[in-house]
C-alpha cells in the first residue's frame, strides 16, 4: 500500500477542476467514445460474456448477479483487490482493482435528495474492476431512477436493504462508487479519489 498517498487537503496539490455543467451521467460512463478518459482499462480476468455486462442499459442482462460488478470469477487471478468498501451494517461488501479512472463531486438535485447530502462524491471504476465479496441475507438493493422501481435496470443505484447505505451507481460501462463506504489504509483518502470536476455546480 506504499503507493497510497495521503490527502493533505487543503495544502495538497490539486487537479485542475472545471466548474461547469457536463452531462449526467458523466462522460466517463462511455469510455469507448470519450477521449477524455486518460487511464487505460485494466485486464482483470473477466472472460465471460458480454465483455461489459448491461452496457446497453435496462433489464436485459441475464444472470447479472454472476457478472461484473457482482459475483464473478477472475481468470488467472488477474483481479487484485486494492480497496474494499462496505455498507454501514456490514452485510454488503465490494472490492476494487486498481485506482479509480476519475473522481467528481455532483451537485445536482437528484444526488442531493438520494444521498441526503449537499452533494455526491463519486469515483469511477470500470465494471470489471469491481467485484462483490459479501451479500449476507441478500441485502443488495437496486433502485432505478429512470423507472422508479427496485428492479435491476441499468443505470441504477445500489445500496444495502438493511442499513440503507448507498454503495455505488451502476452505469452502462462503469461503476460510480462512493468513497464514503471505502476502507482506506490509515483512514487517509488517496489523491486518486480527489475530484477533478464539479458537475451541476449551479444547483448547489
How far the first Cα of the chain sits from its last, in Å, is: 35
Report the distance separating Cα 164 and Cα 69, nearest Å: 19
Q: Smallest distance, Å, CB 188 to Zn ion? A: 24
Instruction: Compute the least distance from the CB of residue 96 to Zn ion, in Å.
Output: 18
Select 111 or 175, whichever has its Cβ closest to Zn ion: 111
- Closest by alpha carbon to 202, among 140, 119, 135? 119
One DSSP character per residue, 99-126 reads --SEEEEE--HHHHHHHTSSSEEEEEEE
Contacting residues toward Zn ion, per CB under 5 A = 87, 89, 91, 106, 108, 111, 160, 162-163
Minimum gap (Å) between residue 51 Cβ and Zn ion:
27
Rounded (10°) CA dihedral 52, 57, 59, 61: -20
Q: Quick one: 52 or 160, whose CB is closer to Zn ion?
A: 160
Which one, 80 or 134, has the nearer CB to Zn ion? 134
Please say whether the beta carbons of 162 and 174 come within 8 A: no
Give the C-alpha separation, 172 to 47, whole Å: 18
Nearest CB to Zn ion, comparing residues 4 and 197: 197
Q: Considering the complex, what minimum distance in angstroms separates the CB of residue 47 from Zn ion? A: 31
Amino acid at each position: 500500500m506504499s503507493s497510497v498517498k495521503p490527502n493533505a487537503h487543503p495544502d495538497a496539490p490539486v487537479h485542475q477542476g472545471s466548474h461547469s455543467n457536463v452531462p449526467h451521467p458523466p462522460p466517463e460512463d462511455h469510455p469507448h467514445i470519450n477521449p477524455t478518459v486518460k487511464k487505460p482499462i485494466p485486464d482483470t480476468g473477466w472472460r465471460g460474456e458480454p465483455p461489459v455486462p448491461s452496457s446497453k442499459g435496462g433489464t436485459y442482462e441475464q444472470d447479472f448477479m454472476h457478472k461484473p460488478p457482482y459475483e464473478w470469477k477472475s481468470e488467472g487471478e488477474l483481479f487484485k483487490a486494492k480497496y474494499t468498501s462496505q455498507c454501514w451494517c456490514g452485510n454488503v461488501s465490494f472490492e476494487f482493482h486498481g485506482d479509480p479512472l476519475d473522481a467528481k463531486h455532483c451537485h445536482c438535485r437528484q444526488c442531493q435528495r438520494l444521498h441526503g447530502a449537499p452533494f455526491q462524491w463519486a469515483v469511477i471504476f470500470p465494471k470489471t474492476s469491481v467485484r462483490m465479496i459479501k451479500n449476507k441475507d441478500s441485502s443488495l438493493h437496486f433502485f432505478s431512477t429512470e423507472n422508479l422501481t427496485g428492479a435491476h435496470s441499468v443505470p441504477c443505484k445500489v445500496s444495502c436493504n438493511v442499513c440503507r447505505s448507498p454503495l455505488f451507481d451502476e452505469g452502462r460501462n462503469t461503476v460510480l462508487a462512493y468513497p464514503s463506504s471505502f476502507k482506506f489504509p490509515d483512514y487517509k483518502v488517496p489523491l486518486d479519489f480527489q475530484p477533478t470536476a464539479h458537475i451541476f455546480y449551479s444547483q448547489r
